[in-house]
Amino acid sequence: MPTKRKRILRWSFALLVVAALVFLVVVTTNFLNEAQMSLGRTPMSGSDLDAMLVNRQQFTPPPDGRLRIAQVHVCLRIAELIDSLDRKKENQTRRRSAIAAVMNTHMQSRASYTWSRNHLATALFDEPMTMADSANIRLIRMMRPRLSAVRRVFNDSLDKEILR
């Protein structure tokens, strides 16, 4: 009888150890999956810029078609950032994460940036076509010294990865 009891205790202990290991594996797997979801994907390709952006909403241009000061400010900051990263010859991964950080700081969506950047470039290089464009030009005159320092960014389209 004592050997049968010992055998039952051994099997019970072994089953308890196996159940504990399975439980630990399941809990660890769930934890790592949740961590991966909250951190987002690693920025390795162009499409991963979307994964790094907080604001992914569609953008509806303002009814008057005018740029806002905040939009010009974000475009200017991104252009200055691209210009400095280009001078430092930073890799694409560093560029994407730096641009995403600026856009997330200002809660700017990709679509909003694209619209703002295109209107800013039009106002910088072309003649105003409408009254809204001429109002944009008045706004841009305030920032002309900083914009002229990074004008090459708008010419070379170094930020083309962000544009849609």
All structural domains of the chain with their residue ranges: 1-39, 48-156
- Report how far residue 25's alpha carbon sits from residue 16's, in angstroms, rounded to the nearest whole number: 14
On whether the pTM is more than 0.75, the answer is no
pLDDT (tens digit per residue) in 36-78: 655 544 444 444 677 778 877 888 888 887 888 888 888 888 8
Helices (H), ranges, 89-156: 92-105, 110-125, 131-142, 144-149, 151-156
pLDDT (tens digit per residue) in 120-156: 777 776 665 565 566 667 677 777 777 777 766 666 5
Which percentage of the chain shows pLDDT scores above 70? 72
Q: How many degrees, rounded to 5, is the angle at CA 119 between CA 84 and CA 90?
A: 20
- Report how far residue 31's alpha carbon sits from residue 8's, in angstroms, rounded to the nearest whole number: 34
Q: How far is CA 28 from CA 22, 23, 35, 76, in A?
A: 10, 9, 10, 44
* Residue type for position 97: S
Which residue has 């008057």 as its token pair?
64
Pair 49, 43: CB distance under 8 Å: yes
Pair 56, 109: CB distance under 8 Å: yes
pLDDT (tens digit per residue) in 73-113: 888 888 888 888 888 887 777 888 888 888 888 888 888 88
* DSSP 8-state secondary structure symbol assigned to residue 45: S
Q: What's residue 40's pLDDT? A: 47
Q: Summarize the confidence of residues 20-30 as an average pLDDT.
A: 92
